[in-house]
Amino acid sequence: MVIGTGYGGSVAALRLAEAGVDVHMVEMGMAWDTPGPDGKIFANTTTPDARSYWLRTRTKQPLSNFLGFPLDKDVPRHTGILDAEEFGGITVYQGRGVGGGSLVNGGMAVTPRRENFAAVLPTVDAGEMYGTYYPRANAGLGAATVDPEWFETADCYQYARVGRRHARRSGFPFVFVPDVYDWDYMKREQAGTATRSALAGEILYGNNHGKKSLQQTYLARAKATGRVTITPLHRVTSVAPAAGGGYTVTMDRLSTSGDTVATKELTADKVFFAAGSVGTSKLLVKLRANGALSRLDGEVGAGWGDNGNVMCGRANHLWDPTGALQSAIPTAGIDNWAQGGAFAEVAPLPTGIETYASFYLSITKNPHRARFTWNAAAGRAELNWRTAWKQPSIDAAKTIFDKINAKEGTIYRTDLFGAYKIWGDHLTYHPLGGAVLGRATDNYGRLKGYTGLYVIDGALIPGNTSVNPFVTITALAERNIEKIIDTDL
Ligand code: FAE
């Protein structure tokens, strides 16, 4: 059994099925295979509706304000695609549904520099990762880089070209990064010969065309084996050793308004936790505390980080427009990791109007790590992150943007995250850790204390990857599942 259908879960399901194992995947979100009343499966970013948020009655947009106006609006409570999960000091954005984060993310498929990977996961053989598993992951995900010639002339990347000019004038390297979007489709969107998706501002709440989510890649191949069953709208609540061997897995069947309509128990020989860094950590700290899996290691719950995410915008001069038409798929970044501890994605602001804004999501070297614990009285997992812990991330991002502002004679936008607030320091898109490789598990994701229980998602990575994380999550899952199939099955 695989709990969750994101990157780690999809890799596990495909490789197990190819090895002849029957796999049952359980996913708390929806299947996302049926069009809504407007004929589209996914809602647009500028017009969120019931499909957009996981069980909220009001949207919680990462950019909450624009030109002084709040952007959030009421929506019907529904098992929508984007979860803005709130903990004490941070809102953690996550994808919900078959495909996990691949449904909502920007598709930036970035392989970290080898020296940075070695610093993050020193017990993993970097030679194997860069020789075998990163290439395997990138091929499986369909990662590719924008055609540089087309990039120079495409209206929809004017914002990225402005970002490049400003980066270079301040002496920063500007790097193209691969993405899983179908670049030929994007070209046709720009040429007006295909229905627009990235160019219609589709991101965050799903892409109706063009993006190769896991449903188009790993999960399609997994299903084609005939050995994989996926059960959506079921949330796993417990895993405990079964009397006759294996594990009893308890799950709630959810209605689309989030109510539990049935509870089921199944038995599985082996269980893979792939519910994402937050989902896996929450489940495991609960199961250790309530005695269902009391032998789990004390490291379970620890080592959680936000990949150093922090957002900001810059206000450009009127002679430096970033374009009314912006592709929602980012394609490049500013690499100041070695000098300043920041890698800044040049991000779109696809509002449909000229904003004169440059917008960035920075990934920074933030040393703070939080811990999940189970609050039995409240019946929920808690995370002890503090908003003030974002200061090192802001400082790192400033090594890039203070310099660019000084060079360009520009200022930070103060209208995107509330009134007179420069930094988007309240959120992360990249939760990592909580069941760290080599600490809560052995060096291949086997949970300490139990035979046949594995972690195979972003929970294994200790809080940071130096770049956007899903290629690393996928590559590590490829490495671990190969070993597990060879030795445990
Ligand atoms: P994930 O993909 O989160 O999958 C976990 C799945 O488990 C989800 O489908 C959950 O609904 C499900 N689940 C959770 N709890 C349960 C339960 N109890 N029972 C059953 N199912 C459960 O995990 N990363 C990049 O590399 N590049 C990007 O451009 C990028 N952009 C992003 C943009 C946004 C807005 C967001 C939110 C994330 C972005 N990310 C990006 C992060 C990336 O999507 C994330 O690291 C991966 O999706 C994490 O993969 P996992 O396999 O760990």
- Asked if residue 95 has its Cβ within 6 Å of ligand 1, the reply is yes
pLDDT tens-digit readout, 430-483: 999 999 999 999 999 999 999 999 999 999 999 999 999 999 999 999 999 999
pLDDT of residue 145: 97
pLDDT band at 120 (very low <50, low <70, confident <90, very high): very high
Structural domain boundaries in the chain: 1-42+81-142+212-308+370-379+426-489, 145-202+309-365+391-425
Ligand 1 centroid distance, CA of 154 (Å): 30
Ligand 1, atom nearest to 204 Cα: 35
Strand order in the sheet with 90-95: 82-87, 90-95, 427-428
What CATH code would you report for 145-202+309-365+391-425? 3.30.410.10
Ligand 1 centroid distance, CA of 338 (Å): 27
172: Cβ–Cβ under 8 A, 6 or more apart, which residues? 334, 335, 336, 400, 403, 404
- Asked if residue 272 has its Cβ within 6 Å of ligand 1, the reply is no
| In the block, residue with structure tokens 């394609």 | 331
pLDDT of residue 68: 77
Q: Reduced to 3 states, what is the DSSP secondary structure of residue 18?
A: helix
342: Cβ–Cβ under 8 A, 6 or more apart, which residues? 308, 334, 336, 362, 363, 364, 365, 393, 396, 397, 399, 400
- What is the set of active-site residues? 345, 430
Backbone angles phi and psi of 324, in degrees to 5: -75, -30
Ligand 1, atom nearest to 470 Cα: 26
Distance in angstroms (rounded) separating the CA atoms of residues 473 and 10: 11
pLDDT of residue 331: 96
The stretch 245-251 carries a mean pLDDT of: 98
Ligand 1 centroid distance, CA of 162 (Å): 30
pLDDT of residue 114: 96
- Asked if residue 468 has its Cβ within 6 Å of ligand 1, the reply is yes
Provide the whole-model pTM.
0.98
Backbone angles phi and psi of 304, in degrees to 5: -90, 135
- 307 to 96, 275, 303, 430, 458: CA distances (angstroms): 20, 18, 11, 6, 11
Q: Is pLDDT at 69 greater than 90 in this prediction?
A: no
| Residue nearest (by alpha carbon) to ligand 1 atom 40 | 105
Ligand 1 centroid distance, CA of 420 (Å): 31
Let me know: does 331 contact 144? Beta carbons within 8 Å: no
Strand partners for 468: none
Across 70-74, 215-219, 483-487, least confident range = 70-74
Backbone angles phi and psi of 391, in degrees to 5: -55, -45
- Asked if residue 457 has its Cβ within 6 Å of ligand 1, the reply is yes
Ligand 1, atom nearest to 345 Cα: 29
Rounded-to-10 torsion of CA 409, 399, 166, 336: 170
Ligand 1 centroid distance, CA of 41 (Å): 19
Which tops the pLDDT comparison, 66 or 116? 116
pLDDT of residue 40: 97
pLDDT of residue 209: 98
pLDDT of residue 66: 84
Ligand 1, atom nearest to 458 Cα: 53
- Asked if residue 5 has its Cβ within 6 Å of ligand 1, the reply is yes
- Asked if residue 232 has its Cβ within 6 Å of ligand 1, the reply is no
Let me know: does 249 contact 287? Beta carbons within 8 Å: no
Superfamily of domain covering 1-42+81-142+212-308+370-379+426-489: FAD/NAD(P)-binding domain (3.50.50.60)
| Residue nearest (by alpha carbon) to ligand 1 atom 32 | 105
pLDDT tens-digit readout, 313-372: 999 999 999 999 999 999 999 999 999 999 999 999 998 899 999 999 999 999 999 999
Angle at 205 between CA 156 and CA 78, to 5 degrees: 160
162: Cβ–Cβ under 8 A, 6 or more apart, which residues? 316, 320, 321, 322, 358
pLDDT tens-digit readout, 183-197: 999 999 999 999 999
Distance in angstroms (rounded) separating the CA atoms of residues 93 and 408: 33
Three-state secondary structure string covering 383-434: ECCCHHHHHHHHHHHHHHHHHHHHHHCCEECCCCCCCCCCCECCEECCCECC
The stretch 222-238 carries a mean pLDDT of: 98
Q: Is pLDDT at 78 greater than 90 in this prediction?
A: yes
pLDDT of residue 418: 86
pLDDT of residue 21: 98
The stretch 403-413 carries a mean pLDDT of: 98
